């Protein structure tokens, strides 16, 4: 089995997975709980339309984050992500936020068609998304 580059562990996910990515990255940043001591902290996290708790912001103050959300998301309010971004900005954290307009948000696939403007993952994860170059440029580096 190939070795894992422990300086380049990335966490991302859409919707509930976006919430999970943010929460997992915060947990990996916390040391001394047994779980996080066995796993390296994330080099970067990309939560997509997931929201999350501002309580975890201090744990991610040094972790590069790029949030994606649609402004009129009917499943997870964009204001949840805006609050997270604001909390991280107050900590001078390395944070980016792409807030998609309704026109930039593709129609949701049939399995989530009832969730209007929730499909922020298609623009975030498309093959030519600028997110990929940014993500793969992130590394915990020496002594991180």
Q: What is the pLDDT of residue 64?
A: 98
Residue 39 binned pLDDT confidence (cut-offs 50, 70, 90): confident
Mean pLDDT of 120-131: 96
From 3.30.200.20, 3.40.50.1820, 3.40.605.10, 3.40.1110.10, which CATH number describes the 10-136 domain?
A: 3.40.50.1820
- The string of pLDDT tens digits covering residues 72-98 is 999 999 999 999 999 999 999 999 999
Identify the burial level of 37 via C-beta atoms within 10 angstroms of its C-beta, where 0-12 means exposed, 13-18 middle and 19 or more buried. Answer: exposed
Give the rounded percent of residues in the chain with a pLDDT score beyond 70.
Answer: 90
Phi, psi angles (nearest 5°) of residue 14: -100, 150
**What are the residue boundaries of the structural domains of the chain, listed by start?**
10-136
Task: Report whether 106 contacts 123 (CB < 8 A).
Answer: yes
Residue 134: which of 84, 98, 110, 81 has the closest Cα? 98
């Amino acid at each position: 089995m190939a070795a894992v580059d422990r300086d380049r562990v990335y966490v991302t996910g859409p919707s509930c997975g976006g919430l999970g990515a943010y929460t997992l990255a915060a947990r990996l940043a916390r040391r001394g709980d047994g779980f996080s001591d066995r796993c390296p902290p994330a080099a970067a996290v990309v939560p997509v339309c997931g929201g999350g708790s501002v309580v975890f912001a201090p744990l991610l103050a040094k972790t590069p984050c790029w949030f994606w959300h649609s402004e009129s998301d009917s499943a997870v309010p964009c204001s949840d992500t805006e609050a997270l971004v604001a909390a991280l900005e107050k900590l001078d954290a390395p944070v980016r936020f792409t807030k998609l307009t309704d026109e930039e948000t593709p129609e949701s696939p049939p399995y989530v068609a009832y969730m209007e403007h929730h499909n922020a993952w298609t623009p975030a994860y498309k093959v030519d998304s600028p997110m990929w170059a940014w993500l793969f440029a992130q590394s915990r580096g020496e002594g991180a």
